[in-house]
Amino acid sequence: MSKKDVERAYLERFRSLIPDFPPGRIEATEEPDFLVHQPASILGLELTDLHRDTPSGIRPQQADEAMRHRVVARAQTLYVASGNPPVRVSVFFNQHHQIQKLDVEQLARCIADLATRNLPAQGTSREQGYDWVNRAYFPEAIHKIKVQRSLVHLAQLGLPHSRLPISNALCSPKSQDTLSIGTGARRRG
């Protein structure tokens, strides 16, 4: 997904939440990011990411988010390579556990394994959280995982398989990354 696609998604979400958003045709530009062509005027919109200042010696929140995204993207690759059916997985990370670069591969393998272990029947979902009983295979860095499996696969509808972007939302005391992972269009012989 390109930067402009992400900006467009943010704008459309903002537009859906604001009842009196100015009507008009929206044009993507560079400066400003978007123009709203109204009958009597043109409104320019610039989208900006705001980040909190990080005290010295503390890793910025964006770095933690980037590490979680890296883990989830790698887990997606591993799961797809396993040949398991397509699923949507929500991973809730423990915010009190900082992920390091050296942790990425091991955590990704654990997520892919947990998705397989919790593979639900079609049209249902399963979830599992970290606890004392499952700590041998469920890493403390993950608070909970939810695996959803749709009733109909995109290939059955004649549509190409698409991977949804990883979305990140903060949830106290954990953060969530969501991804769609699957094997793409599979043919039955």
* Segment 12-30, tens digit of pLDDT: 988 899 999 989 999 999 8
Q: What is the pLDDT of residue 170?
A: 29
What is the amino acid identity at position 153?
H
pLDDT of 44 strictly over 70: yes
The whole model's pTM is what? 0.61
pLDDT of 101 strictly over 70: yes
* Beta pairing partners, 6: none
Residues 170-174 have a mean pLDDT of 34
Structure tokens at 52: 């909190």
Q: What is the pLDDT of residue 156?
A: 55
CB < 8 Å & 24+ apart, contacts of 57-61: 59/98
pLDDT of 174 strictly over 80: no
Q: What is the pLDDT of residue 155?
A: 54
**pLDDT confidence tier of residue 58, bands split at 50, 70 and 90:** confident
Complete edge-to-edge strand list for the sheet that includes strand 142-148 = 125-129, 142-148, 87-94, 174-181, 167-171
CB < 8 Å & 24+ apart, contacts of 109-114: 109/75, 109/78, 110/137, 110/138, 110/139, 110/142, 111/71, 111/72, 111/75, 111/79, 111/142, 111/145, 112/75, 112/78, 112/79, 112/82, 113/137, 114/138, 114/142, 114/145, 114/147
Nearest to 118 by CA among 83, 157, 87: 87
pLDDT of 157 strictly over 70: no
Determine which of 38-47, 116-125, 167-176 has the lowest per-residue pLDDT on average: 167-176
pLDDT tens-digit readout, 65-90:
889 999 999 999 999 999 899 999 99
Q: What is the pLDDT of residue 163?
A: 40
**pLDDT confidence tier of residue 4, bands split at 50, 70 and 90:** confident
Q: How far apart are CA 56 and CA 173, in angstroms?
A: 23
